[in-house]
Amino acid sequence: MAEMIKEKLREAVRAALYETVEEEIAQLCGPRHHPAKESKHQRAGSAPSVVCFDGRKVSLKRPRVRQHREGGGSEEVSLESWKAAQDPGEWEDAIMRATLYGVSTRDVEKTTEQSRGSCSRSTVSRRWAEHASRLVREMQEGDLSGFDLLVLMVDGVVLAPDQVVTVALGVDVGGNKKVLGYQVGASENQQVCMNLLENLQTRGLKVPENRALLAVLDGSKALRGAITKFFAKVFVQRCLIHKERNMKAYVGKKRWKELCGFFSELRHSTGVEAARGALEALNRFAKGCNAQAAECLAEGSEDLLTLFEIGAPSILQTSLLSTNGIENVFKNLRRHLGRVCRWREDTQQANRWMASGLTLAQRGLRRLKGREVLPGLAGALERACDTKQTASA
């Protein structure tokens, strides 16, 4: 029954197509049995052709029209309605959607009725490479001048031992998250990050003169060094989740629950004084465990309370005391990259897969939790910037 209904629909579409084409031909040549004598066009039979219907290539007879030339002879006229029916865009989009969402080139032909019998593995691979190359250009060359950057998160994802990609995620004053760009390198080093930031600047990304930038980082010294060197006005917030994870390597498992409790108290502190008290309690706990735990906590401790010290609204602590925003992007990205068995450094493979994976991840991004108070964070960064300039003057 279902197949019968589909066939009825196909017949209806074919009839509608021929009716549309006939209307165009009648405008050029006149009615079928009463051709316009003054017209330079005439009907010229038909020829085998194909159209795209329901994403499939279907063989149909193409009506032909010829136009008389001024100096004699004639030439065939391209019918706009038939050209529209031959547009493979829908078919290619179906293939690209299947490939982007994890279907192998071997299986893409089996996924939908639209692509069945219309493409081979090599065809899909070639079209995939072309499509992904366009995504690379969009991701790496798109205009960023209209993005009002407020918060920046930068982190790296490892593809292979000698291939690491550094990714930048931005949040604007409206709470919109955007994958700004990425840079492929041999490691997550300062130069790679600087190249990434220079690319963003070239594309128009900037921070207003009267406001500082808030950078949320996982603790990488290379990334911190690059960002503080590149941006004249920047405050760095260290990811508390990464710091907690690092400290677990120096604290016995029996005391992990206590450690988590101290970090939870710090994350939920209200006001800078309460946060300082929670950090001091955590410091006493670390010293009570061993010297290595205390040293781990002390490393980069100047960046642990940045969000509190600049006076940011407390509702933002859930979103901005960790790098979860960019980690969620990586979670979806790794699902996409998991299909690659071997990374080839001498090709554009990494660029294509990163662009396609980040494009998919971008589609799933939601606005920042607590976005309604982000203008308050912008104001806090302006005041903190003025205070910092006054103190250094």
113 and 209 inside one domain: no
**pLDDT band per the 50, 70, 90 thresholds, residue 317:** very high
Please tell me whether residue 308 adopts helix, strand or coil conformation. Answer: helix
**Domain containing residue 34:** 2-87
197 and 133 inside one domain: no
40 and 68 inside one domain: yes
**Is pLDDT at 168 greater than 90 in this prediction?**
yes
135 and 161 inside one domain: no
**pLDDT band per the 50, 70, 90 thresholds, residue 242:** very high
Residue 38 makes CB contacts below 8 A (sequence gap 6+) with: none
Chain segment 336-346, per-residue pLDDT in tens: 888 788 888 88
Please tell me whether residue 348 adopts helix, strand or coil conformation. Answer: coil
CB atoms within 10 A of CB 352: 19
Chain segment 45-78, per-residue pLDDT in tens: 888 888 776 556 778 888 898 888 877 788 888 8
179 and 316 inside one domain: yes
Q: Write out the two tokens for 25.
A: 């031909």
Secondary structure E strands in 86-176: 149-160, 163-172
83 and 113 inside one domain: no
Backbone angles phi, psi at 61, to 5 degrees: -80, 130
Does residue 188 contact residue 330 with C-beta atoms inside 8 Å?
no
CA atoms of 16 and 85, how far apart (whole Å): 11
103 and 221 inside one domain: no
Number of folded domains that form the chain? 3
**Which pTM value belongs to this model?**
0.71
Dihedral angle at the C-alpha atoms of 124, 127, 131, 132, nearest 10 degrees? 60
164 and 110 inside one domain: no
Q: What is the mean pLDDT of residues 196-208?
A: 94
Chain segment 253-262, per-residue pLDDT in tens: 999 999 999 9
167 and 133 inside one domain: no
58 and 127 inside one domain: no
Chain segment 131-157, per-residue pLDDT in tens: 778 888 888 999 999 999 999 999 999
Last residue of a domain, one of 123, 139, 155: 139
82 and 37 inside one domain: yes
40 and 120 inside one domain: no
